[in-house]
Structure 1
């Protein structure tokens, strides 16, 4: 359909996330953690347009909200998760890893986890994230929700069975995750409404 020259950008890794408007896509491009760039691209049927996100270099794009009005990204060290406005790339809120709690089986109470490299929108108000990479050393993996009503307070999800790995939100109020009890099966989860 169309090709766009990204000039000085090259990538050994890239992540493509479609925008809910059906005409745009976000590309997260980079060859090293310090030079990752987010590119927004759109196609109106005749003309392609691109723009670089006005974020600091190295930001890792994770997901776009179902309404398309915001997106979530991580720093290269995955210690800060940030929600951004899509229109101007301005930060809405940053959630530092220090807001997380130490794993209950950790020997050192100051041994805080960092975010995994993937997080996504359960719905327009809630992000799901995980700390499975570092939790793995203690066995039980943990997933967290971040709700816009209390955006700086990660809430650990209390699953009825142990889960493993990174969850994937579906944007409709549900997400999928694997269970330790049944490693070859993917489970569909939904938030319990009050």
Structure 2
């Protein structure tokens, strides 16, 4: 079955590919979607709906504290009054005026034996490894994936919960990971946070936790699995994952129990189909996902609409402009984004009304 897409908005946005390919979104559904762009030594924050309404200037701009550090996943408070940066040796909160609000020091993500730091905070050590951070949806907490230890033979990764007011540590969870990178997904219930840790060829680790103001309750949903945390949606208790190699999508209860599983319909023995790592909830009823790597093999890429509760494929998406060589990034409000590299436009779509 073919499902026709309808273009609702289109805007020229040279760096719009970040919104489709990466972790540049915060907020969801009917709430304003904060779009985070790194532009040189600045972090620009846009209201996505205002961008589609014609506003081209960022709502707020934060200076990046470490000019040579371009890794880590950063976050902005819900009211956009401060940003939290995931650095190589610290998590730092910065106000929109550029002033440091607080700093939480941790070990170095790029340690080398016998390599002392010079004391220059702008020094960037070798290595691509990094952590991530996320401000809670109520703005009261900062969740951060960090490392503590002096060198590569004496370190331990942790998931820490920080007070957003002053950065002091409220709780920490030791992790059995050796990360290449990570990202957070905030649950729309406002209580739970998910952490997905990529370890390169060693696979993926997935954790959930809840801070009740007194204690940290955590659990992992790994058990030998190798799954990437994709999305959650308000109104649904579960979350969506994709197998690392794209073999299937799964809908999980918050405790990790599998509620539904969906395999790609296209492909053959010679060219088996696989799900991309980008996709999620268009709304409470539907999920969008794509087969084949849309960036690497655009001629074979295709977007699909699935039932959000059963993961049954409802049909492939037909775009009026022809096949789209882009990932699909759902907004949770009934629409999704693609990026057209040919003319530099960020496009917003919905399913056409019969």
Task: Tell me the TM-score normalised to structure 2 length.
Answer: 0.47
Compare the two structures and name the one with the higher strand fraction.
2
**Equivalent residue, structure 2, for 1:143:** 303
Q: CA deviation at 1:150?
A: 6.2
**Equivalent residue, structure 1, for 2:316:** 156
Q: CA deviation at 1:138?
A: 6.1
- Whether the 8 Å CA contact 2:298–2:324 is kept in 1: the answer is no
Of residues 151, 163, 168, the one that matches 2:329 is 168
The DSSP-based 3-state class of the residue aligned with 1:193 is: coil
| Greater RCO (Cα-Cα under 8 Å, separation 6 or more) | 2
Q: CA RMSD in A?
A: 2.6
**Equivalent residue, structure 2, for 1:105:** none
**Equivalent residue, structure 1, for 2:148:** none
Structure 2 residues without counterparts, runs of 5 or longer: 1-162, 164-169
Q: Label 1:135 to 1:7 Cα distance change in 2 as closer, same or farther (>3 A).
A: closer
What does 1:8-47 correspond to in 2, within 5 Å? 8-47=176-215
**Equivalent residue, structure 2, for 1:90:** 257
| CA–CA separation in structure 2 for the residues paired with 1:158 and 1:24 | 36
After superposition, the C-alpha distances for 1:128-173 in whole angstroms (9 at most, x for unaligned) are: 1112516854626311110147632251111111322211101111
Q: Label 1:11 to 1:54 Cα distance change in 2 as closer, same or farther (>3 A).
A: closer
Q: How many residues of Structure 1 are paired with residues of Structure 2 in the alignment?
A: 185
| Moved beyond 6 Å, runs of 4+ | none
| CA–CA separation in structure 1 for the residues paired with 2:223 and 2:233 | 17
Q: CA deviation at 1:4?
A: 1.2
**Equivalent residue, structure 1, for 2:246:** 78
| CA–CA separation in structure 2 for the residues paired with 1:85 and 1:70 | 4
Q: Label 1:150 to 1:60 Cα distance change in 2 as closer, same or farther (>3 A).
A: closer
**Equivalent residue, structure 1, for 2:174:** 6
| CA–CA separation in structure 2 for the residues paired with 1:149 and 1:44 | 29
| CA–CA separation in structure 1 for the residues paired with 2:352 and 2:295 | 24
- Whether the 8 Å CA contact 1:17–1:63 is kept in 2: the answer is yes
Structure 1 residues without counterparts, runs of 5 or longer: 103-107
Q: Which moved more, 1:65-74 or 1:133-142?
A: 133-142
The DSSP-based 3-state class of the residue aligned with 1:5 is: strand
- Whether the 8 Å CA contact 1:15–1:28 is kept in 2: the answer is yes
After superposition, the C-alpha distances for 1:42-66 in whole angstroms (9 at most, x for unaligned) are: 2223333211126542111111122
| CA–CA separation in structure 2 for the residues paired with 1:150 and 1:51 | 25
Q: CA deviation at 1:122?
A: 0.4
The DSSP-based 3-state class of the residue aligned with 1:139 is: helix
| CA–CA separation in structure 2 for the residues paired with 1:143 and 1:83 | 18
| CA–CA separation in structure 1 for the residues paired with 2:203 and 2:272 | 26
**Equivalent residue, structure 2, for 1:65:** 233
Task: Tell me the TM-score normalised to structure 1 length.
Answer: 0.82
| CA–CA separation in structure 2 for the residues paired with 1:150 and 1:71 | 13
Q: Label 1:146 to 1:34 Cα distance change in 2 as closer, same or farther (>3 A).
A: farther
